[in-house]
Amino acid sequence: MLKTLIIASHPTYDDSLSQRFFSESAKIPNVTLHLLDKVVGDFDLAIELEKLQGIDRLILQFPLYWYQVPAKMKAWIDTVWEAAKPYLLNKEIGFALSTGVAAKEFQLGGKEGASFSEILRPLTLMAQKYQMTILPVLVLDQLMYKTETEKRRFVIDYQQLLTMEAPFSFAAKQQWFRQRLETLAENPSLAPLFAQLIQNQETLSELEEALAEMEAYE
């Protein structure tokens, strides 16, 4: 199973609804949350590198501050990144952002006029230096306006970012749900849902095989 480390920063974490929402959603096995703003003073390089030991996936989690990471995360990067190469080489990296502006505005023609990919470019370039696999960005926008259904959907997306095997295909998502349901298999009320999921996954596999055969004859 993947071992994931979340490096999170928010200067007013205790007052941030979004960051608390992230943190509560991250309470799952093999996921460790490191809150940078709880560290007093300068970072101890040895301690920070020890946290990176043996991880498979690194998640940088932060609110956009004038299109950049918060100051504490910038300090962590400046302290740790160069020495972290042996721990991060060929690993995976993802980004979990929060913003008070609607995500749809981060595109050409939107109010922000730039995409999240453009804003994250300095960070993705750093990751590419270590041949890291860059995962799809996840954005939590305007949490206060989201319905309960939207919040539950986001929790699933977030936990998949933390724990699902890459690449994030439809089949991978089905397998992820199957693994989660297996942990709850003792609950009789979930048995029909589990059986339906298995059937859907088998159907998907059959369709993929059929498509592969059709392509072979083209």
Q: What are residue 92's phi and psi, to 5 degrees?
A: -110, 150
What are the tens digits of pLDDT across the range 80-122?
A: 999 999 999 999 999 999 999 999 999 988 999 899 999 999 9
What's the DSSP call for residue 166?
S
Packed helices 71-80 and 45-52: angle between N→C axes, nearest 10 degrees: 90
Helix (H) or strand (E) holding 133: strand 133-134
Quick one: what percent of the chain has pLDDT higher than 70? 83
Distance CA 144, CA 53 (A): 36
For residue 186, is pLDDT > 80?
no
Task: Tally the C-alpha atoms within 13 A of residue 74's C-alpha that lie toward its C-beta.
Answer: 10
- pLDDT of res. 193: 53
- pLDDT of res. 146: 87
